[in-house]
Amino acid sequence: MLEATATAAWHRRLMLGLLLAPALLWLFALIVLPHLDLALLSFREPVAPRKYVPSLAQYRTFFAEPLYWHVFMRTAILSALATALTLLIAFPVAWTIAKLARGRMGALLFVVCLIPFWVSETVRTLGWMILLRESGVLPALLVRLGLTNGPVELLYHDATILVGLVYTSLLFMVVPLVGSLESLDNSLIEAAYDLGSGGFAILRKIVIPHAAPGITAGCIVVFMLTLGNYLTPTLLGGKNSLWFTEQIYTQFITRFNWEQGAAFGFLLLALSTAMVWFGLKLSGQRFSDVMRRT
Amino acid sequence: MKLVLSVLLSAGMLLATGCSSHHGDQGAPGTDESKTLRIITWSDYIPQEIVDQFRQETGIQVEVSLSNNEEIISKLRATGGAGFDLAQPSQDRIISAQREFRIYRPIDLTKVKLDEFRADLLEIVKKNATYEGQLYALPYVWGTEGLLVNSKRASISDYLDLCRPDLKGKTSVRLRRPTLMAFALAIGKDPFALYGDPRAYSALMDEVGRTLIACKPNFRFFYDNKDQLINGVRSGEIVASMMWDSVSWKLNRENPDLKYINPKSGAIAWLDTMALPARGRNEAGAYKWINFTMRPDVAAKIARSIGNFTASKDADALMDPELKAQFAASFPDGMKNLKWYPAIPPGLEEIEGRVLDRIKAAN
C-alpha cells in the first residue's frame, strides 16, 4: 500500500518533469546560454585581429561618450512617457468594457481593441507612415480644411514616435486593466456614493487601489515592450529616432562590434529591471501578485 | 529585439558547432549538396532568368538570399563562413573581414576563365582583395554613387549643393560611409589618401561630421534602402540626393527630368565581387557559376537586371543601347574622375561609426 503511494508520487513528479522539460530546455538553450555568451562578449576587448583581452572597455565607452548616455536616457524617458499615455488612454476603455458595456457589447468592444493586432506591426507602422507623410492623407486633409497653408511633415518627430508606441501597446494595457476592474464589486462604488463621496474620491480611494495590481502589470508589460521596440521608433522617427535598440542593432550588424553591442544589451536589461523594481516600490506592489494579473 | 538577437546568436552558435564536422567538405558529386548553390547577394544581382538558364545547363538549383555589405559579413561571421557557397561583398570590404573573422577561402585561379574578365577591374581586386599572397575575390559588377537631381526643380553640380539653403528639407543621403567619403571629397580633401594615417583620418572625419551636422536640416530623412528614396523622389518630396547610378537611370527612364550627374568632386566607384565563404559546401558549383556569369550573353542579362555594367569583357557589344546612352550623358568624360575605393584598413570603420552616430544624434 505504502509502496503504491510512493510509486504514484514518483510518477507524478516524472510527469511534471516531462511536461516542464520543453519549456526549461527552451529557456536554457535559447535564453540563458546566449545571454551568458553575450555577457562574456561584453567583458572583452579586441586588441589585435582575433585577439581579445578581458576588459571593461565596452562599458567605459558607454559612460565616456555622451551620445550613448543621451540616447539611453532619452529611450528611458520616452518609454516612461509612452507608458503613462497608454495608461491614460487605456483606463477609460477598460472601464467601459468592464463596467459599462452590457452582455455581448463588452466582448464586441474587446474585439475592436484586438482587430489592429491581426495585421503585423510592420504593416501597422507603414500604415501610419502613409497617413502622416507630407504627401500623405492627414496633411492633405489639414490643407483641405484650411488649417495649414501647405502640407506639413508629420513624420519624424518625437510625438510621432509616441503616437506609434501608444498605438502599438494599447492592448497590452487594456487586458490586465479589464481583468482587475471586472473583479471590483459594484456595490462598493454604490455604497461610496450613498455615503456622499464624489467621483474623484471614489476613483482615488476605491477604484485605483483595487486595480493597482492590474495597472502595475500593464505598465510593466507596456514599458518593457516600448523600451525594446525597434521597428516603430526607427520607421516613425526617421533621421532623429535615436532609440537605444537601434544603437544595439548598429553595433552588432553594421559596425561588427559585437562586444559593444553586447554591453549595450546588458545596460538595457539593467535599465528595464531597475525601472520595474522602481515601479513596484513606488506603487507598493509585490512582483508575484502583479504577475498573477498579467 | 533582445530575444530576437539571442535567438539569432544561439542559432549561429549551434550552426558553428554543428557544422564543424563539415569543415573541408567540398560537396562531393552525387550528394544533394552539389545540386544547390546558395548565394548571398544584393537585390537585382541575380535575375530569375539566369537562375533558370543555369539550372537547365548544369542541373544546379541556385538559392538567392538578399543582403548588403554589412549583413554579408555579419552573417558569415556568425557561422564562421558557413551557410552560403558564394557571397558578393564589395571589393574594399574583403581583406579587413578576412583578417578579422576568416570567413572566406582563397580563389583557385586555375578553375576560373580569367580571360573573360575585364583586365582593369581584375587589377583592382588583385590590388585590394589579396591577403597573405592569395586572391579572395573576383569582380562581378561595378557602378558609381553620385547625385540624382530633378533638373526641373533644382540645379546642382556637387555634393555640397545638397546643403544649399534653397533646398532645405528636400534632399537626402544615406547615413553610411560612402556619404562621409563624398563629403570629404567635396570639402577638398582626399579621404583615401589618409587611409593609412588613423589620426589624420579621424580629424578629417570630425570635419566631415561637422559639415554634415550643419547640413542636417536640409535632409528630409536618411534613407536606408533605395525604395525609400525612390518613393520620396516620385512623390516630389525629394528633389536632389546622393544615389546610385542604376537606380537614378531607372528613374530617368520614367521621368527624363530626373538626371544622374557625376559631381565635380567625382562620383564614388564601387565594385562588387564574387567571394567564396570559408565553409561553403558546393565549391565546384560556385566555380561553374562564376564562369557562367562572365559569359557575354549571360553578363548582358545580368547587366540589364541591375542597370549597371558587369566585369565581363565582351558583354559591352550586347549591352542595352539606352543604358549606354545614359552612361554617356551622365559621364561625358567616360570613366575619368571616378574615385575607386581602396581596401579599408582595420580601425577606420570605428572612427566613421562614431562620426555617423554623432550626426544621427545632432539636432
Residues B244 and B354 reside in one and the same domain: yes
Is A156 in CB contact (< 8 Å) with chain B?
Answer: yes
pLDDT in tens, B74-131: 999 999 999 999 999 999 999 999 998 999 999 999 999 999 999 999 999 999 999 9
pLDDT value at residue A240: 76
Residues 115-134 of A with CB under 8 A from B: 133-134
Determine, yes or no, domain membership for A25. no
Q: Higher pLDDT residue, A34 or B12? A: A34
A252 to B354: CB separation less than 8 angstroms, yes or no:
no
The whole-angstrom distance between A153's CA and the closest CA on chain B is: 9
- Which residues 6+ apart lie within 8 Å of A255 measured at CB? A261, B349, B350, B353
A49 to B99: CB separation less than 8 angstroms, yes or no:
yes
Residue B8 has pLDDT above 60, yes or no: no
- Which chain B residues are closer than 8 Å to A65 by Cβ? 354
A269 to B2: CB separation less than 8 angstroms, yes or no:
yes
Is A135 in CB contact (< 8 Å) with chain B?
Answer: yes
Residue B143 bridge partners (DSSP):
B270
Determine, yes or no, domain membership for A30. no
Residues B317 and B348 reside in one and the same domain: no
Determine, yes or no, domain membership for A33. no
Cell numbers for A263, please give them. Answer: 554591453
Backbone angles phi, psi at A183, to 5 degrees: -80, -5
Residues B356 and B211 reside in one and the same domain: yes
Q: Higher pLDDT residue, B339 or B31? A: B339
- Which chain A residues are closer than 8 Å to B236 by Cβ? 135
Q: How many CA atoms lie within 13 A of B189 on its CB side?
A: 19
Question: Could you please report the per-residue DSSP string of A218-271?
Answer: HHHHHHHHHHT--HHHHHHHGGG---HHHHHHIIIIIS--HHHHHHHHHHHHHH
| Percent of chain A residues topping a pLDDT of 90 | 52
Backbone angles phi, psi at B339, to 5 degrees: -105, 105
Q: Tell me which of B162, B172, B360, B363 to substitute to probe the interface with A (most A C-beta atoms closer than 10 Å).
A: B360
Q: Higher pLDDT residue, A291 or B350? A: B350
Backbone angles phi, psi at B141, to 5 degrees: -150, 150
Residues B220 and B354 reside in one and the same domain: yes
Residues B225 and B351 reside in one and the same domain: yes
Determine, yes or no, domain membership for B10. no
Residue B258 has pLDDT above 50, yes or no: yes
pLDDT value at residue B31: 53
- Which chain A residues are closer than 8 Å to B354 by Cβ? 65
Residues B255 and B193 reside in one and the same domain: yes
Q: Which amino acid makes up residue A128?
A: W
CB–CB contacts below 8 A, A to B: 92
pLDDT value at residue A199: 86
The whole-angstrom distance between A225's CA and the closest CA on chain B is: 9
The whole-angstrom distance between B97's CA and the closest CA on chain A is: 9
Which residue among A67, A238, A255 sits closest to B221, beta carbon to beta carbon?
A: A238
* Residue A121 DSSP code: H
Residues B112 and B237 reside in one and the same domain: no
pLDDT value at residue A294: 58
- Which chain A residues are closer than 8 Å to B235 by Cβ? 133-135
| ipTM associated with this complex | 0.74
- Rounded CA-CA distance B310/B358 in Å is 36
- Mean pLDDT calculated for residue range A172-192: 91
A50 to B102: CB separation less than 8 angstroms, yes or no:
yes
Residue B12 has pLDDT above 50, yes or no: no
Is A253 in CB contact (< 8 Å) with chain B?
Answer: yes
Range of the domain at B249: 145-268+340-361
The whole-angstrom distance between B172's CA and the closest CA on chain A is: 10
Which residue among A156, A229, A242 sits closest to B360, beta carbon to beta carbon?
A: A242
**Count of structural domains within chain A:** 1
**Where is B169: in which H helix or E strand?**
none
Residue A172 has pLDDT above 90, yes or no: yes
Determine, yes or no, domain membership for B6. no
Using alpha carbons only, give the angle B157, B159, B161 rounded to the nearest 5 degrees: 65
B2 to A156: CB separation less than 8 angstroms, yes or no:
no
Determine, yes or no, domain membership for B321. yes
pLDDT in tens, B206-236: 999 999 999 999 999 999 888 889 999 999 9
The whole-angstrom distance between A201's CA and the closest CA on chain B is: 41
Residues B289 and B152 reside in one and the same domain: no
- Which residues 6+ apart lie within 8 Å of A260 measured at CB? A58, A61, A251
Determine, yes or no, domain membership for A1. no
Determine, yes or no, domain membership for A283. yes
Range of the domain at A82: 57-293
Determine, yes or no, domain membership for A199. yes
The whole-angstrom distance between B22's CA and the closest CA on chain A is: 22
Alpha-carbon distances, residue B360 vs A27, B70, B126, B356, B357 (angstroms)? 36, 19, 36, 6, 5
Question: Which domain CATH number covers A286?
Answer: 1.10.3720.10
Backbone angles phi, psi at B312, to 5 degrees: -75, 130
pLDDT in tens, A202-215: 999 899 999 998 99
Residues B318 and B172 reside in one and the same domain: no
Nearest CA in chain A to B14: A29
**Where is B341: in which H helix or E strand?**
none
Which residue among B6, B13, B358 sits closest to A35, beta carbon to beta carbon?
A: B6
**Count of structural domains within chain B:** 2
Q: Tell me which of B8, B9, B75, B95 to substitute to probe the interface with A (most A C-beta atoms closer than 10 Å).
A: B9
- Mean pLDDT calculated for residue range B130-141: 96
- Mean pLDDT calculated for residue range B290-300: 95
The whole-angstrom distance between A11's CA and the closest CA on chain B is: 34
Whether the Cβ atoms of residue B348 and residue B198 lie closer than 8 Å to each other = yes
Cell numbers for A224, please give them. Answer: 518593457
Alpha-carbon distances, residue A149 vs A146, A286, B167 (angstroms)? 7, 53, 19
Residue B131 bridge partners (DSSP):
B134
pLDDT value at residue B300: 92
B10 to A134: CB separation less than 8 angstroms, yes or no:
no
**Where is B197: in which H helix or E strand?**
none
pLDDT value at residue B205: 97
Determine, yes or no, domain membership for B23. no
B2 to A250: CB separation less than 8 angstroms, yes or no:
no
Residues B178 and B39 reside in one and the same domain: no
Residues B264 and B274 reside in one and the same domain: no
Question: Which domain CATH number covers B173?
Answer: 3.40.190.10
Determine, yes or no, domain membership for B17. no
B220 to A265: CB separation less than 8 angstroms, yes or no:
no
Residue B23 has pLDDT above 80, yes or no: no
Is A270 in CB contact (< 8 Å) with chain B?
Answer: no
Whether the Cβ atoms of residue A245 and residue B1 lie closer than 8 Å to each other = yes
Write down the mean pLDDT value for chain B. Answer: 89
Residues B219 and B347 reside in one and the same domain: yes
B353 to A257: CB separation less than 8 angstroms, yes or no:
yes
- Mean pLDDT calculated for residue range B323-345: 92
Q: Tell me which of B3, B4, B6, B224 to substitute to probe the interface with A (most A C-beta atoms closer than 10 Å).
A: B6
Cell numbers for A145, please give them. Answer: 480644411
Residues 39-98 of A with CB under 8 A from B: 49-50, 65, 67-68, 70-71
Determine, yes or no, domain membership for A10. no
A229 to B220: CB separation less than 8 angstroms, yes or no:
no
Determine, yes or no, domain membership for A27. no
The whole-angstrom distance between B68's CA and the closest CA on chain A is: 10
Is A228 in CB contact (< 8 Å) with chain B?
Answer: yes
pLDDT in tens, B183-213: 999 999 999 999 999 999 999 999 999 999 9
